[in-house]
Structure formats: structure tokens, C-alpha cells
Amino acid sequence: MTRPSAAPTGSVAGRLSLVDRFLAVWILVAMAAGLGLGRLVPGLGDVLAKVTVTGVSLPIALGLLVMMYPVLAKVRYDRLDTVTRDKRLLVPSLAINWLVGPAVMFTLAWIFLPDLPEYRTGLIIVGLARCIAMVIIWNDLACGDREAAAVLVALNSVFQVIAFATLGWFYLSVLPGWLGLEQTALDVSVWEIARSVLIFLGVPLIAGFATRKLGEKARGRSWYETQLLPRIGPFALYGLLFTIVVLFALQGEAITSRPLDVVRIALPLLVYFAVMWAGSMALGKAVGLGYPRATTLAFTAAGNNFELAIAVAIATFGATSGQALAGVVGPLIEVPVLIALVYVALAARRFFPQPDPVAYPLAPVEEGSPSV
């Protein structure tokens, strides 16, 4: 997977591989293939869901691990200290993810779905599950700061373990009670959340860190960057496409049999992703972040941990519940919207004339350059 070029010229685009140039097409094809398989092959969803890891289908879990490992192997872990010292990035990120994001989703869920409590609850759960997986891919495609993404995802994971259950109780029971609205209970343990984080972030993070340390020690940084990374890089895209196919195959019948319900759920999600991404990008520029870190701030704010949201909805309300369907519609909307925002971000780069001096360099892609 080649990192998008900083120069929007046709010659650079022409040097990208066929897969890279039509990435959005492959993602849409993967979604359609998954939906088609789920609809046309009876019982496929049951077979795929039979073996689970923390409530998530094992094929999806494997796809996510394959997807995240190459990107985390590319992180320069020796640069992480420059990210942790940047309060312009860390403070806005934590505020947006854990104060603004859940409140925005709660508001949109009640505005768009006042008469559909199951879907409304499912959307609120999606809003509470902050990003730890696919956002790494979107950030990398948009030339965001790789090291910043690793730090923010790790912070979100810690806060997810600490705050998810409490925020669920607040937004589903306490706040609706204060406002005179319908209340819902959410029974989820801290261990369930921690287990999800350890598997979907901890495993690929440890593998990526170990790969870089051992690879650089054995053969040097030049070999690692120019020889090894281009070989393992494409597996991030393969893992992404595989995950999308399996995810939509699992719920293909449910999605295609209730199209009007899917549209009702999709509307607040579309507004949510647009508001969170655009608002965070603008905030990043306002506080003086360069393009790479403003982009990372935007994608980590807009992305959600759909794996956790679906697992919690299924465990609490059942696999055939409206809450579970709302969780599944989340990535159905998130995937095409965020891949579109990758291109929006690259187009918006001209509004950030100076990149962060310590962030990932934004040099144009040259022929023969390493894949990302």
C-alpha cells in the first residue's frame, strides 16, 4: 500500500500501483461482495460467527490483526516522545474523543431516531467506542503522523477500558433520566473491554514494535525501511479488504432485508462523521498543528471501534437485536465515508503550508520509494 503523494500530479498518480490507484473502488467492491455473500449463501453468517474472540468473529479478528500489523511495524517508536510532549495534540484529542464525541452521537441519535429506541441505543454505543483499529489505515493513507496515531490510539485504548462502562451508564441511563427521556441499562464489564483492547491493539502493537527492533538490530534501518517494509506493507490493505468482506457477509442478510432501517441509522452517522472530522481538522489548524498531526487528530476523532460496539451490543442485547444492527451499520457507513475523507484531507493539505517539523515527512512519492 503506497503512501499517497504530496504532489497531486498525474505523473505521480501514474506511478502508483493498480491496487493503490483504485483503492476506493476495491473497498466498495469488498463491501458489495460481503453483502452479496451474506445474502446469497444461507447460513454463511452463522458459520463465520461460530468461533469468536471477545465477541467478534474469529475471521474478522484475524483480518484486523493482519491489517494493523504492517502499519504498526512502520511506526518510528523512537519518535514517540515528540508526540507525548505536544499538548496541542493530546489535550484536544482527549477532549474530542471522550467529551465531545459521545455527546454529539447522543444528540444525533435522539434527533434522528426518537421513535426507534433499539437503533438509538446502538448508535450511542458506537459513539462511546473510540477508535483503535481501522483509523490507523485511514490516517496512513492520508499521510497523517504515524507516530501520533500510535500514541492517540493507545491513549484511547486506556480511556476505553476506564471510561466505556461509566459513559454507557451516563448516556443511556443518567442523562436521559435528567432530560425526562427513556432510559436503558448497559451491562458490560471492564474486563470485556480490556480484553478487546489487548487483542485488537496489544497483539499487533507488540508484533510491530518487535519487528522494527529486531529488524533494525539485525540488518540496519536502511534495509528495514527500503527492503522489509515494502514487502509487508501491502498486507495492511489485504487485511482491510478481507475484514470488510467478512464483516458484511456476517450481516449481509440483516442489512439488505431492512434497507429503510439502514437508511434511518445511516443519516445520523453521516452527520456524525462529517462533523467530527471537519471540526477536529479545523481545531487542529486553529491550535497550530501542521497537516500531519491535524489529520491524525481528525481521523482519530471521527473513527470508532466498531468491533467493540458490535461485541457489546450482541453480548447485551442479542445478535439479532436492533442495537446489534446499528453497530453493524456503523462500519457500513464509516468505511466509504472515511475513505472519501482521505481524499478530502489530501486536497486540504494546501491550507497547511508548513508541516510539523517532527512529524512524518511529506516528501512526494518518488518512483521506487517504499510502500506504506
- Residue 353 pLDDT class (50, 70, 90 cuts): low
Domain total in the chain: 1
Q: Is residue 367 part of a domain?
A: no
Torsion angles phi and psi, residue 7, rounded to 5: -105, 115
Note whether residue 366 is domain-resident: no
Higher pLDDT, 176 or 157: 176
**276 lies in which domain range?**
12-349
- Which residues have CB under 8 Å from 244's CB, separation 6+? 27, 30, 31, 34, 331, 335
Q: Determine the average pLDDT of the residues in 359-364.
A: 40
Could you tell me the CATH number of the domain that includes residue 126? 1.20.1530.20
Banded model confidence at residue 59, pLDDT cuts 50, 70, 90: confident
CA atoms of 290 and 90, how far apart (whole Å):
14
> How far apart are the C-alpha atoms of 303 and 138, rounded to whole Å?
9
Place of cell 512524518: 360
According to DSSP, the residues that pair with 53 across neighbouring strands are: 56
**pLDDT tens digits for range 280-315:** 999 999 999 999 999 999 999 998 887 778 778 877
Confidence label for 257 from pLDDT (cuts 50, 70 and 90): confident
Does residue 363 lie within any of the structural domains? no
pLDDT band with cut points at 50, 70 and 90 for residue 196: confident
More confident residue, 219 or 331: 219
Residue 322: enclosing H or E segment and its boundaries? Answer: helix 322-347
User: Which set of grid coordinates corresponds to residue 249?
Assistant: 457477509
Residues 76-112: tens digit of each pLDDT: 898 888 888 899 999 999 999 999 999 999 999 999 9
The mean pLDDT of 105-127, rounded to a whole number, is 95
Write the pLDDT tens digit of every residue in 306-341: 777 877 887 788 766 888 888 878 887 888 899 899
The Cα–Cα gap between 127 and 288 comes to 27
pLDDT at 20: 62
318 in any annotated domain:
yes
Write down the mean pLDDT value for the chain.
82
Mean pLDDT of the region 159-163: 85
Query: Residue 46 pLDDT > 80, yes or no?
Result: no
- Helical residues (DSSP H) of 129-258, grouped into ranges: 135-141, 146-169, 175-178, 190-197, 203-219, 221-223, 229-232, 234-250, 252-257
Residue 110 lies in a domain: yes
> What's the grid cell of residue 358?
517532527
Asked if residue 365 is part of any domain, the answer here is no
Q: Tell me, what DSSP letter sits at residue 22?
A: T
Q: Within a domain: residue 356?
A: no
The answer to whether position 6 is within a domain reads no
